Amino acid sequence: MWTKETIHELVTRQKQYFRTNETLDIDWRIRQLKRLKTALSLYEDDLIAALMSDLGRSETEAYLADIGSVIMEINETIQGLKRWARPELHLSGLACFPSIFTRVYKMPYGTSLIISPFNFPVMLSIGPLAAAIAGGNTAVIKASSKSPATTKALQKILSDIFPEEYVAVVDGGHDIADLCLEERFDKIFYTGSPKVGSHVMEMASHNLTPVALELGGETGNWAIVRKDAEIFDAARKIAFFKIMNSGQICINVNQVAVEESIAEEFIDCLKSEIGRQIGTDPLTNPEYPHLINHDAYDKCAAQAAEYADRIYCGGHGDPDTLRFEPTVIYPVGTDEEIVKHELFSPLLPVVPYKEDEEDALLDIIASREHGLAFYLFTTDKARAKEIMTTQQYGGGCINEVCLHLMVKGVPFNGTGHSGMGAYHGEWGFREFTHPQTVLTGSTRFNLPLREHPYSGLEGDWKLKALKIFQR
């Protein structure tokens, strides 16, 4: 059981370990990343069993979304780290003469705190950890109490390969998270809701600790299916994504806006695709994940009951297994409560809109909190570019869902209520390092331009010279 005293002792030991400078060596960091990758493979069965216990996820989905994706990210980090960590060399410029060279070192922050969520408890713990290791930091992971089996598995795995003064996993609820936040960490990485994100920022502000936040977005992620879209393709991909993890995904489609002339055809395809992919009775399909706990189930069931008269398909659940069917709700207006907040469930409101009111729809979306993701289905490339480059969101796809998360070399995160900072690959390395500029001065040929006096003839020629150098 963690207490204020034991957490403080842990953080103190991590700070002392960081000051040994062992984590600064790039080759040493790469060795730790390789150990982490090997451990994920060795303990793969344990992690899959834990994800099944916590979320009811099948082996394939667990590997696809949690284990395999983070192994890919570690591989990218191992391959690129020496290049990313190389100091940048800059010419100092005439204004700094006789200095010739200035270097930018990528320095670790020190001791980091990673607060991970329940929905992807492996990927969203190990992914930020890989970035922290790459940056040369020590790390305390506060894992979610809502996914206890995975938290226990992570504790076993990481304690087997790393000493606690380097990497440690802390379990417990919000009270334990607050005890961690009271400590003076050097970097905090939090994944979760905007409400808790603002609390994390407030706590971090007491020590002026820099934070990175990955948040779902207060009003959820929109998908728009235009009249010219490939309707079946859009329905197939949206159905797949809504089924995954029972909709408990921060970048999932929260609501779909469909041009009204194709809306009924779209929801027919959506219903058909849900049945094809997960069966006509998802509640008895062992491959279909469940909601994380009874509170999440009850919230989902209550929201579905409010729209019982507009449920097109789904709408049933089993409180014993915590499974709730993928549920299409149609029609829903843009001003209704269900499309004004993140659902984090298998409910999918479908909003029909008139073709000539597309700009008004985009204005409504833009007026709400920025989503973590945005999806557009259309065959009009020019219109796609116009929409995707004028809306504000974390990241997104045209005629696809979620795969932008898997692309090497690109950043991932949101903006505003959907997050701040960025990570994955080199962007994660940057997130966990501070660019430290160091100019190398000269002991010879120094000119007295910057020194007093600034008056008289001497001051006049200094000013003229400065205006030349600093023009």
**pLDDT tens by residue, 2-45:** 999 999 999 999 999 999 999 999 999 999 999 999 999 999 99
Q: Is 157 helix (H, G, I), strand (E, B) or coil?
A: helix
For 235-250, how does the pLDDT look when each residue is reduced to its tens digit (9 = 90+)?
999 999 999 999 999 9
Phi-psi category of 410—alpha, beta or left, where left has phi over 0 and alpha has psi -120 to 50? Answer: beta
pLDDT of residue 283: 97
Region(s) of the chain under CATH 3.40.309.10 = 222-412
For 327-379, how does the pLDDT look when each residue is reduced to its tens digit (9 = 90+)?
999 999 999 999 999 999 999 999 999 999 999 999 999 999 999 999 999 99
Which tokens go with 331?
A: 């029609």
Pairing of strands 222-225, 371-377: parallel
**Of 91, 112, 94, residue with least CA distance to 170:** 112
Measured between alpha carbons, how far is 369 from 341 in angstroms, rounded to an integer? 9
Domain 222-412 part of CATH 3.40.309.10: yes
Question: Measured on CA atoms in the order 39, 44, 46, 48, is the torsion positive or negative?
Answer: positive
pLDDT band at 75 (very low <50, low <70, confident <90, very high): very high
Q: Dihedral angle at the C-alpha atoms of 193, 196, 200, 201, nearest 10 degrees?
A: 80
pLDDT of residue 467: 85
pLDDT of residue 97: 85
Catalytic site positions: 214, 250
How many other C-beta atoms are found inside a 10 Å radius of the C-beta of residue 274? Answer: 27
pLDDT band at 95 (very low <50, low <70, confident <90, very high): confident
Domain 4-216+420-434: give its CATH code.
3.40.605.10
**Of 449, 450, 366, 455, residue with least CA distance to 415:** 366
pLDDT of residue 271: 98
Average pLDDT rounded to a whole number, residues 247-254: 97
Measured between alpha carbons, how far is 81 from 64 in angstroms, rounded to an integer? 24
Single-letter amino acid code for the residue at 394? G
Region(s) of the chain under CATH 3.40.605.10 = 4-216+420-434
Whether residue 446 has pLDDT greater than 80: yes
Angle of helix 231-243 relative to helix 260-278, nearest 10 degrees, comes to 50
Whether residue 217 has pLDDT greater than 90: no
For 293-318, how does the pLDDT look when each residue is reduced to its tens digit (9 = 90+)?
999 999 999 999 999 999 999 999 99
Measured between alpha carbons, how far is 469 from 214 in angstroms, rounded to an integer? 44
pLDDT of residue 194: 94
Measured between alpha carbons, how far is 105 from 456 in angstroms, rounded to an integer? 41
Task: Calculate the alpha carbon distances from 164 to 218, 224, 303 in Å.
Answer: 36, 47, 43
Whether residue 447 has pLDDT greater than 90: no
Measured between alpha carbons, how far is 91 from 330 in angstroms, rounded to an integer? 61
Whether residue 470 has pLDDT greater than 80: no
Q: What is the DSSP string of 211-254?
A: EEEEE--TT--EEEE-TTS-HHHHHHHHHHHHHGGGG--TTS--
Q: What contacts 261, CB < 8 A, 6 or more positions away?
A: 227, 355
pLDDT band at 130 (very low <50, low <70, confident <90, very high): very high
pTM: 0.96
pLDDT band at 93 (very low <50, low <70, confident <90, very high): confident
Strands (E), 76-195: 88-91, 101-108, 111-115, 138-142, 167-170, 187-192
